[in-house]
Amino acid sequence: MAEQYRKNGVETSADLMMPLPLAEGQIADTDELTTEVYDNKARALYPNFPQRANVTVIPIIPGITLYSYIRFFHAVPDLGPVDIYVNGKRVARNLDYRNFTEYMKAFPGYYRVAVFPAGNKTNPIFVNYMNLIGYRIYTGVIEGTSGDASLEMINDNRRYLPKDKAYVRFAQMSANAPALDVYLDDSLVISDLNNKEVSRYMAIRPGSHNIKLRDYLSGAVLMEDPDMTVQGGKAYTVYIVGDIYDRTGLQVIIPLEGTTYLQF
């Protein structure tokens, strides 16, 4: 039946990288972290759609079917590449530090996320849980240190983006950085930004900007990016990552946010 939907140009759950959600009571079951779990409750929610074996086929109809988007970001500098399993299904392979996955469609509900060293299926680095809400755009950040990593969920708010402004926010994902003051073009725009904190979006002019990160207490400059270039009508998050004790220090990763181009 999934093939029939494809012939008609309709995307279905069978086409998605992300698995179906679990029932709330299933997420704590960690016996099979790398074997995909099939949820009979999810099937029961869609009794009119065809199901066979372990496949539930749910057509994704814009404006009718409830779904979200999620991507994952590796922000732990002392952790090697990782594989990510969601409800036992591998959704990311060999994801390196400072890299993102693509955005993936997912149905609202509960998910179990297990992160392993790349190529391994035993002794996960961590296991976390997430509850996705429909019509949201998420980034799941793998943050912390190699000995204490976890998943931090960031919601990319949908918004109207006028063409004469760019929208920028800051997310502090460096585990050992002090509280930070953020300067944009030598003006203080955020004070006392701590680990795992995400600022609100601010509207700025399109073009090139200078970013400085200063220690909140001492005022010492910990990082400077003299050429952050942004475009009008687009939204960005400046992810602050890195190890202040490493020679590379703090760094910023500035991806285009999904609210700019994803459609529901």
In this predicted structure, the answer to whether residue 65 has a pLDDT above a threshold of 80 is yes
pLDDT single digits (tens) 93-112: 999 999 999 999 999 999 99
pLDDT single digits (tens) 101-148: 999 999 999 999 999 999 999 999 999 999 999 999 999 999 999 999
**Predicted local confidence at residue 51, as pLDDT:** 47
Phi-psi region of 78 (alpha: psi -120 to 50; beta: other; left: phi over 0): alpha
**Predicted local confidence at residue 61, as pLDDT:** 82
CA distance between the termini of the chain:
23
* Best-predicted range by mean pLDDT (8-22, 29-43, 157-171, 198-212): 198-212
What is the H or E stretch that residue 221 is in? strand 221-230
**Predicted local confidence at residue 50, as pLDDT:** 46
In this predicted structure, the answer to whether residue 173 has a pLDDT above a threshold of 90 is yes
Answer whether 107's CB lies under 8 Å from 58's CB.
yes
In this predicted structure, the answer to whether residue 53 has a pLDDT above a threshold of 50 is no
**Predicted local confidence at residue 38, as pLDDT:** 61
Q: Which amino acid is at 151?
A: L
- CA distance linking residue 191 with residue 198, whole number of Å: 12
Mean pLDDT of the chain: 89
Q: Which of 104, 108, 111, 113 is nearest to 132 (CA)?
A: 108
Lowest mean pLDDT among 43-47, 70-74, 205-209: 43-47
CB atoms within 10 A of CB 35: 11
